[in-house]
Chains A and B, each alone.
Chain A
Amino acid sequence: MIGSVVHPRTSASHRSHARRNKRAWALMGILVGVSLLLVAYGYFKAVEWPMLADAVLHTTLRLALAYGIALVIGVSIALLVGWSPFADVFFPLFDILQNLPSFALIPLFIYFFGYTSKMIVIFAVSSIVWPILFAVLTAIKSAHKDLSDAATIFGARGLRRIPYFLAPLSFPAMLTGSIVGIAIGWESVIGAEIITNVAGFGDFIKGASASGVTEDMLAGTFAILVIVFAVNRLIWAPLLSESSKRYAE
């Protein structure tokens, strides 16, 4: 038998990841710095911070809830359809459904759920679910034939194929689908709040722009940017980095 050596990954991808990470933190540093300068110069003195915090919190919680529900629904449907022999039948159907413009359907959501927080969450779910579902289903459909055969021959058959093969196989796709889904989710939640006047960040900036109070809008925008950045750096970036290391060819 021969001995063998490990080939540690000191590759260019690691260095470029570190560079991207540094750039992102630098950008955030600039953003926070500008905000602090504006605070120091008293630009934000008219901002009603408790009201803004409450609005941002409402919006963020709605988005988090909608994302959680969409993740469960999207991944479950994608795994079941991808596992079944009907993936090719469902794929075009999902394609048509996801192309329906969400905001054109908002009257339907209002009709069924009223001007409520629940309506906004369900509306956001209907937007977030598609990128997650498509990303996972595409990953399953495009799995390398050898990998799929290996799963079969080594026993991942029947329903066991889902947790032991399809779910881990589609993890990177679930991540990218989630990132796109959450970006769409921000728009959906804020947009729905603007349309329905339900308390939240959308309603807050609508009121701020109507009364011409631009510092409220700017403070709100900074607050959302900080949340988006924090979620990206603390959750998605480490997961993406780990996933790209693990799933590298």
Chain B
Amino acid sequence: MPATHDMLLVLSRVSARFADEGEKGTLALKDISLSVPAGSFVSIIGPSGAGKSTLMRVILGFMPQTSGEIVRNFSRPAMVFQNYALFPWLSALDNVAFGLRMSGVPRKERERIAREKLKEVGLAHLENHYPAALSGGQRQRVGLARALALSPDLLIMDEPFSNLDTITSESLKADLLKIWRTYGMTILMVNHLIPDAIELSDHIIVMSGHPGRIEKTFSIDLPRPRDTRSAHFFRHVDLLTEDIRAIS
């Protein structure tokens, strides 16, 4: 990975606890150290309960770390959620424009940007639809457009494909890569599918649970666009699978 000053995010020995009924709470993350290079695509994989989503919350400051240091060299983070987290009372257009509205962007301008982003994710024709009238894939695209509307320098994606069928997730992955190349932003994605992580990422961080900690990091040096049916690709999947098996 590049030198520290090129890093968008650096975590040094970060630990965090859930504030539950115990005297000290439950240790959720233990001594997490990682660096995310600016402009890279990093995936975090691991079993359920490994603290992947908790780590995202700590990075965004939604949950305080109990020890360690976080250097955040980003100013405009955005997030795409596993369960879409669209505001049900707003149309697709207003959902996408929400962040701009909160930033004080005038109505005409924010609607223009929102329409542009909806077009980018292929949903221009559904701008007046409410989330309840959209399919899972469409909702996730609105969620992606909402994030892109902020022109984020860090896009955090928490298992964005896990609620989608294979066909929808394949097309969304292709669009995501296109968008990543266009915007040049840093993407930090929580994932639990090894092939997806290898197809998309520059770096993969493997976590294990109880408490959540980093077991290993991998750099994927396959050329892009990646052929997911090539022998090289399958070899990477096998190697990573073996490593994860050994860890767990």
Q: Which residues of A contact B (CB under 8 A)?
A: 1-4, 6-9, 144, 146-147, 149-156, 160, 164-165, 168-169, 171, 245-249
B85, A144: Cβ atoms closer than 8 Å: yes
Contact A156 B102, beta carbon cutoff 8 Å = yes
18 pairs, CB–CB < 8 Å, chain A vs chain B: A2-B122, A3-B122, A4-B122, A6-B134, A7-B138, A146-B82, A149-B57, A149-B79, A150-B79, A150-B85, A153-B79, A155-B98, A155-B99, A160-B102, A164-B101, A245-B132, A246-B88, A246-B132
Do A6 and B129 touch across chains, with their CB atoms under 8 A apart? yes
Contacts of B62 in A (CB 8 A): 149, 152
Query: Least Cβ distance of B158 to chain A in Å?
Result: 8
Contact B83 A164 (CB under 8 A): no
Find out whether the CB atom of B122 lies under 8 angstroms from the CB atom of A168: no
Q: Are A154 and B121 closer than 8 Å at their CB atoms?
A: no
A232 to chain B, nearest CB (A): 23
- B77 — nearest CB in chain A belongs to which residue? A153
Contact of A147 with B85 at beta-carbon distance under 8 Å, contacts A4-B137, A154-B150 already known: yes
A6 with B102, Cβ < 8 A, contacts A150-B81, A150-B87, A153-B78 known: no
Tell me, in angstroms, the Cα distance from A4 to B164 when the chains sit together.
14
Which of under 10, 10 to 19, 20 to 34, or 35 or more describes the interface residues of B? 35 or more
Q: How far is the CB of A204 from chain B (nearest CB, A)?
A: 42
Given A147-B85, A154-B102, does the pair A6, B123 have CB atoms closer than 8 Å?
A: no
- 6 tightest A-B CB contacts, nearest first: A155-B102, A154-B99, A150-B85, A1-B122, A146-B85, A248-B132
Q: How far is the CA of A152 from the CA of B87 in the complex (A)?
A: 12
Quick one: which of B25-63 are within 8 Å of A by CB? 57, 60, 62
Interface centre among B57, B88, B135 (most CB of A within 10 A): B88
B175 within 8 A of A: yes
- Beta-carbon contacts of B125-139 to A below 8 Å, as 1s and 0s? 110011011110110
Give min CB distance, B99 to chain A, whole Å. 4
Among B81, B102, B129, B134, find the residue whose CB has the most chain A CB atoms closer than 10 A: B102
- The chain A residue with its CB closest to the CB of B57 is A149
Q: Which residue of B lies closest to A165 (CB)?
A: B87
Residues of B within 8 A of A248 (CB): 88, 132
The residues of A that contact B101 with a CB separation of less than 8 Å are 155, 164
Give Cα distance in the complex from A19 to B62, angstroms.
45
Q: Which residue of B lies closest to A244 (CB)?
A: B132
Shortest CB distance A200–B (Å): 38
Inter-chain contact B175/A155, CB cutoff 8 Å: no
CA distance A147 to B77 in the complex (A): 16
